[in-house]
Amino acid sequence: MKRTAIKRRPLADTVLASLEPESKEYREAYGTDRLYFVVSPTGRKRWEVRYKRVSTGRWTWLGLGAYPDVPAKVARKSALAIAEQVAMGIDPLKERQQSRANATNGTMTPWRVTAEEWYKHKVGQGYANNTLRNMRRWLDNDALPILGKIPVSRVTRAECVRVQQRVEDRNALVFAEKARGWLRDIFRYAIAHDRCELNPASDLDVVAAKQKASIPFAHLLEKDLPAFLKALRNAPSGPVVRTAAWTVVRTASRPGMVRWMHWDEIDLKGAVWTISAEKMKSNRDHLMPLSRQTIEDLRAIKPFAGRSGYVFPGRDSSPVISHSAINNCFSLIGFDGRMTGHGSRHTAKTLLSEHGWPRDWSEMQLAHALPGLEGVYNRAQWFKQRVVMMQWYADYLDALEAGITDEQIKWFDAQVLLPGGQRFTDPSPE
């Protein structure tokens, strides 16, 4: 229809839809609130609002969007909002320009900025130090060199694949799986902060190098332990390394935790090793009962302690024994490829399970997280029970080394505690 045929305002939707273009662009007042309907010579239609600028006092126009994408009701609400801004002394044009600048700055933020914010957020959440070190190492060595300078909203899947391949080229496939999760998480962080809309790090597992089936650490079963224990007793390694090896065997601790054991963590009188949450994967303090045999060994090597305070000091400038020292000790006694420091955890778990010790106690001794909701709500450490269990274990190892009889095995089995703490009938050993 011709605009000369308009009979009433506000303009009805049928009028807005049927207004015909003219040789020149024209505006028709919608009705109130200084809202205008604009029709161009090409037939395109849009909304504009007229307002007086706060800074100059001059009248100007501000677009509110195309019609019919922006219906009349929405346009009128926008016009009312602009009138409120002007009444409050706010220039709606400057406000819009600033909002667009902020949006642009967010999407154009270098990936490095978002990654560093994400890392600080993880530090604040109390992740284990080892996990944080791995995150930092991956960022510095793998991710930042490729993605660091690229705007976070413009990172492509191909570039994410390059980051993944950088890790896979070192054949660090287990680490690559963790890194994929970190990369996805960084983009989720960016999406939450309105810096990008899509996560280009999703589905990277589809093109990831396939991991080989995991092979358990070399470990021994009970029938193989007598020969191993006799050989370990006479190991040619020095007293510090030999004691570290025995400590790993008797406590079923991770070799890395034993290597970095500090005298401040050891209560020789109370026979307990307290490992701080910062060192633990579980991110909580862990109490490790120490058997009588382990306490005797630790007392024997205390004179070797240096100024560093570490229980197992290394040579020259190294604060502790090397990561390969314990496995080398096993190799020197003829068990290369058959027994490892970490494998002693498998050995302990198997032996304790076969002799009937409660699963939860051995899992806690190994500092394993319990599955599902049990791991969330069950915070028991079963320390008193583990004191009994690990002394039993050390004594049983001694018996295996000396040559255990069937009657002695029955006696040891009778000492096993049930989950409730009660003991089997105690027959006398022969």
* Structural contact between residues 32 and 8, judged by C-beta atoms closer than 8 angstroms: no
Count CB neighbours of 397 within 10 A: 25
φ and ψ at residue 38, rounded to 5 degrees: -110, 135
Structure tokens at 304: 């070797």
CA dist., res. 207 & res. 200, Å (int):
13
DSSP per position, 409-427: HHHHHHTPBPTTS-B---P
Task: Give the chain's length.
Answer: 430
CA dist., res. 88 & res. 38, Å (int):
27
CA dist., res. 260 & res. 85, Å (int):
64
CA dist., res. 219 & res. 281, Å (int):
23
The domains located in the chain, with CATH, are 3-107 (3.30.160.390), 111-207 (1.10.150.130), 222-414 (1.10.443)
Q: What is the pLDDT of residue 430?
A: 39
Q: Nearest-5° angle of CA 224, CA 229, CA 233?
A: 160
Q: What is the pLDDT of residue 223?
A: 93
Structure tokens at 396: 């049983």
Active site residues: 254, 281, 342, 345, 368, 377
CA dist., res. 40 & res. 117, Å (int):
47
Asked, as a colleague might, if the bond just before 21 is cis with ω within 30 of 0, I would say: no
User: Cα torsion for 267, 417, 280, 248, to the nearest 10°?
Assistant: 70
Residues 6+ apart with CB under 8 A from 295: 268, 271
Bridge partners, 50 (sequence order) = 61
Q: Could you state, in chain order, the average pLDDT of each consecutive group of 10 residues for the chain (430 residues)?
A: 87 90 91 87 91 85 88 89 85 71 61 94 80 91 94 93 93 90 94 89 89 67 93 94 96 92 94 84 78 96 84 85 92 92 92 92 81 43 90 96 93 87 50
- What residue has token string 């995150």? 135
